[in-house]
Amino acid sequence: MNTPKIAITAFSSISPLGNNSDEIWKKYLDKNHCFTKRFLDQQETSVASLSTESKQIIDKIREEDIRYKFLDNSVLFALAASREAVQNAGWKTDDIFGINIGSSRGATDLFEKHYKEYLETGKAQTLASPTTTLGNISSWIAHDLQSSGPEISHSITCSTALHALLNGVAWLKSGMADKFLVGGSEAPLTDFTIGQMRALKIYSRLNLDIDSWPNLALDFEKNQNTMILGEGAAVCCLEAGEKENAIAYVTGVGFATEILEHNISISAEADCFQKSMKMALKDVDLESVDVIVMHAPGTIKGDLTELRAIEKVFGSSLPLLTTNKWKIGHTFGTSGMLSLELALLMMKHDTFIETPFSETKNQNKTIKKVLVNAVGFGGNAVSILIEKA
């Protein structure tokens, strides 16, 4: 049975890097991070908030429709990214396409506000439930784009967005759809969410004023966890078959789940990543893989175990390694798709983006194949291999 090629025909995001691909690339070339300071629960905290331009876009969308005023930022972020992606792909309003946009935390800010009000008054707002359900994101995107295809929402922790891509690929390869919009959205910059990360002792305690790099993702010599949260949404348009407007092709997908010892455990050599990468790289010459965009959240164990898994799989044929979390933080369910964005941009500009902490050799190699990794609590790993069109 011949299965169709899976083309990526458009990509769009809204994040601390902005929402314009040219500006995003310029910021990747700039070695400064995008972190800012906020007071959360009376504590000064490093976060990666949307850029000023991106916030203006969200504010404008919120004013378009009275119903949009009541939506969580996670929905509005996804809506902004989806509109641009569909436009860039040339999809029309009468096209039939599926939608799968997930989120790790969903309507974080709105849920917390509704719950706080309930504790104070004993009453819930009329729209508290419909505006905080997990299916809220894809449903509103389908409404906004007037889509008539299937719509799916899901949460698989920090690998959510790449699981959406897996779902889209499955639908396209099965012949049940010709086009799919896939991605993730996250708006987790709340006191309670960051408090949860602090309770796990994985949030960065480095001072933004004193330390050059508050998030030391991919610094394998760090002696403390330095994860910082970010926010944003990222989506891509998938189409079955070869396409003239393809910017890349998905040529391998892999997934695996860790055998857990406790709620957030991962093995010393990240067995889940080894399995997901091997699945994505089946029948692929390992030396042909030019770059791996690692999940690398900035935690000591998370970064090191993924590195060990890569070393196990690739041996002496180690590709260039990078991540974007030192620049924009960890965006939970969106993170895998923002990593895919970095992969696509490196392919487009044929330029490797390294972290400030690594000494990378052979940076001038042509970038044609990139592997993207993501994993979340529960050991749900995904690996996606893309190839330049």
Q: At residue 264, does pLDDT exceed 80?
A: no
Separation CA 338–CA 352 (nearest Å): 16
Better-scored residue on pLDDT, 262 or 163: 163
> What confidence tens digit (pLDDT) does each residue in 193-212 have?
999 999 999 999 999 988 98
Report residue 263's pLDDT band, with 50, 70 and 90 as the boundaries.
very low
The structural domains of the chain, ordered by start, are 6-240 (3.40.47.10), 252-388 (3.40.47.10)
For the whole model, what pTM was predicted?
0.95
- Segment 352-368 mean pLDDT: 83
Separation CA 304–CA 220 (nearest Å): 7
Separation CA 131–CA 109 (nearest Å): 11
Q: Does residue 108 sit in helix, strand or coil?
A: helix
Mean confidence (pLDDT) of the chain: 93
CA angle 378/156/235 to nearest 5° reads: 140
Most confident among 128-132, 177-181, 355-359 (mean pLDDT): 177-181
> What confidence tens digit (pLDDT) does each residue in 79-130 have?
999 999 999 999 988 899 999 999 999 999 999 999 999 999 999 999 999 9
CA 96 to mean position of chain CA atoms: 25
Phi then psi dihedrals of residue 81, to 5 deg: -65, -40
* All residues at 6 or more sequence positions from 204 whose CB lies less than 8 Å from its CB, including other chains: 46, 214, 215, 225, 226, 227, 228, 298
